[in-house]
């Protein structure tokens, strides 16, 4: 089994053969992937070495010390955190070989075509249809998706569509990889309260998807999608940050820099949120350690739920600490950002943008149900439509 010493040796060999100072960024990332040092717990030949996941930190530390470039994980977070685990778990060897390398190097950006205007919290009610072309074996997809982050920059998308409307809603879904450059794909911006158009709505008209780009069996898309959703909630709510990093760091800095804004009541609130942020950070570390042993479970939903509540509370406190200045928002420009920058913007932006944290990646109401049923073991909510064919559901 690969150990830490072997990984250090491999990493130093990579640095010697491809010095970061003289090697182009993309060339270095490709070489790192080919050396199995991209994500060491992945299979050999797919960016890894079948090593324990915990040893990734050994590689990352060596590369950081040498000034090696990273793959800008925030820009390609959907690919890394959602698409890649699903491709690995449910795609064929050919599919994984084709997509994982350019996904990890950032040469191909990914987005997620799941939510629809009538299927957000109840995702299994989705209406986008995929019909098999018997002559070619391809799938023809028609429908609409919404709240799609990065669709305006994405080359590929993970997509779920209904392939059998005669089955109950959870059973007639199939999972695909969709080419975002297909002429049948139309991306339109959705302007948010921040002024940006970070999200999009996507219209699919006669989009042809080869059967080779199907992940999992026909009709088994809901099970495949659970891999994506569980990883999504960990990637949103369980990112590794240092103590007093992220949103709480901004609020604490305001407190230290503006003594004239302090009150006893605000101090108590800041201390409480600081403790909550530290508990969330340590819980995230424990969750990542659990991931070493297997796939993420429903605990990731609890992390994402806490992340949303904490961000909204901290951003609200920061605005109060700043007084009148907290109401200012410097940039209302209509932009199409590639990523969300919480800490690089002003307090007004953070306050407005954090409102979306309780919607994206699963609404807080849905996540509460998941935690109640799958973590605490409470009785499930009544679901009268569970066995009703999708075509007979009221819409």
Give the pLDDT confidence of 328-380 residue by residue, as tens digits. 777 666 677 766 767 677 888 889 888 888 887 778 888 888 888 888 889 98
Query: Does 245 share its domain with 357?
Result: yes
- Under a CB-based contact definition with an 8 Å cutoff, are residues 164 and 129 in contact? no
The lowest-confidence range among 47-61, 138-152, 166-180, 364-378 is: 364-378
Query: Does 63 share its domain with 83?
Result: no
Query: Does 162 share its domain with 244?
Result: no
pLDDT attached to residue 17: 97
Query: Does 133 share its domain with 207?
Result: yes
Q: How would residue 239 be classed by pLDDT, with cut points 50, 70 and 90?
A: low
Give the pLDDT confidence of 89-133 residue by residue, as tens digits. 999 989 999 999 999 999 999 999 999 998 877 899 999 999 999
Query: Does 62 share its domain with 83?
Result: no
| CATH code: domain of residue 263 | 1.20.140.10
β-pairing verdict for 156-162 and 110-113: parallel
In percent, how much of the chain has pLDDT > 90? Answer: 56
Residue 215 pLDDT exceeds 70: yes
Facing residues of 247 across strands? none
pTM: 0.86
Tell me, yes or no, if 232 is annotated catalytic: yes
| CATH code: domain of residue 132 | 2.40.110.10
Written as one string, the DSSP assignment of 6-35 is HHHHHHHHHHHHS-TTTS-HHHHHHHHHHT
Question: Tokens standing for 18?
Answer: 């491809």
Closest CA to 148 of 162, 159, 163, 161: 159
Question: Which one of the listed residues 198, 232, 299, 320 is annotated catalytic?
Answer: 232
Residue 206 pLDDT exceeds 60: yes
Domain that holds residue 60: 4-70
Written as one string, the DSSP assignment of 274-286 is HHHHHHHHHHHHH
Asked, for residue 309, whether it belongs to a domain, the answer is yes
Query: Does 327 share its domain with 361?
Result: yes
Report CA torsion sign: 16, 18, 19, 20. negative
Q: Which residue shows structure tokens 């993970």?
A: 158
pLDDT attached to residue 301: 75
Asked, for residue 382, whether it belongs to a domain, the answer is no
Query: Does 254 share its domain with 336?
Result: yes
Query: Does 188 share its domain with 304?
Result: no
Residue 296 pLDDT exceeds 70: no
Residue 238 pLDDT exceeds 60: no
Give the pLDDT confidence of 266-280 residue by residue, as tens digits. 889 999 999 999 988
Rounded CA separation 265/276 (Å): 17
Query: Does 9 share its domain with 47?
Result: yes
């Amino acid at each position: 089994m690969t150990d830490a010493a072997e990984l250090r040796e491999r990493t130093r060999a990579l640095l010697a053969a491809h010095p970061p100072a003289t090697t182009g960024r993309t060339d270095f990332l490709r070489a790192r992937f080919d050396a199995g040092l991209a994500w060491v717990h992945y299979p050999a030949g797919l960016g890894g070495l079948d090593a324990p996941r915990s040893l990734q930190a050994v590689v990352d530390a060596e590369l950081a010390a040498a000034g090696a470039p990273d793959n800008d994980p925030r820009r390609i977070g959907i690919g890394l955190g959602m698409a890649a685990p699903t491709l690995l778990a449910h795609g064929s060897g050919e599919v994984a070989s084709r997509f994982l390398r350019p996904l990890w190097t950032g040469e191909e950006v990914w987005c997620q075509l799941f939510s629809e205007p009538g299927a957000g919290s109840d995702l299994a009610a989705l209406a986008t249809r995929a019909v098999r072309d018997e002559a070619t074996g391809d799938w023809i997809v028609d429908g609409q998706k919404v709240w799609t982050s990065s669709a305006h920059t994405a080359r590929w998308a993970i997509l779920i569509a209904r392939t059998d409307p005669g089955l109950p809603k959870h059973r007639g879904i199939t999972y695909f990889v969709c080419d975002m450059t297909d002429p049948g794909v139309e991306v339109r911006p959705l302007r948010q309260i921040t002024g940006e158009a970070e999200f999009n709505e996507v219209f699919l008209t006669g989009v042809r998807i080869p059967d080779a780009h199907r992940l999992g069996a026909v009709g088994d898309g809901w099970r495949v999608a659970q891999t994506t959703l569980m990883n999504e909630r960990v990637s949103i709510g369980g990112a590794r940050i240092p103590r007093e990093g992220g949103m709480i760091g901004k609020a604490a800095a305001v407190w230290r820099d503006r003594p004239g804004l302090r009150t006893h009541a605000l101090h108590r609130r800041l201390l409480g949120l600081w403790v909550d942020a530290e508990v969330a950070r340590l819980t995230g570390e424990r969750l990542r350690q659990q991931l070493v042993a297997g796939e993420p479970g429903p605990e990731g939903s609890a992390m994402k739920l806490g992340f949303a509540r904490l961000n909204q509370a901290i951003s609200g406190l920061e605005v109060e600490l700043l007084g009148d200045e907290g109401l200012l928002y410097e940039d209302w420009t209509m932009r199409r950002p590639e990523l969300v920058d919480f800490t690089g913007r002003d307090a007004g932006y953070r306050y407005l943008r954090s409102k979306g944290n309780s919607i994206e990646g699963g609404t807080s109401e849905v996540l509460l149900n998941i935690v109640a049923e799958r973590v605490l073991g409470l009785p499930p909510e009544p679901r009268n439509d569970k066995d009703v064919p999708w075509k007979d559901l009221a819409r």
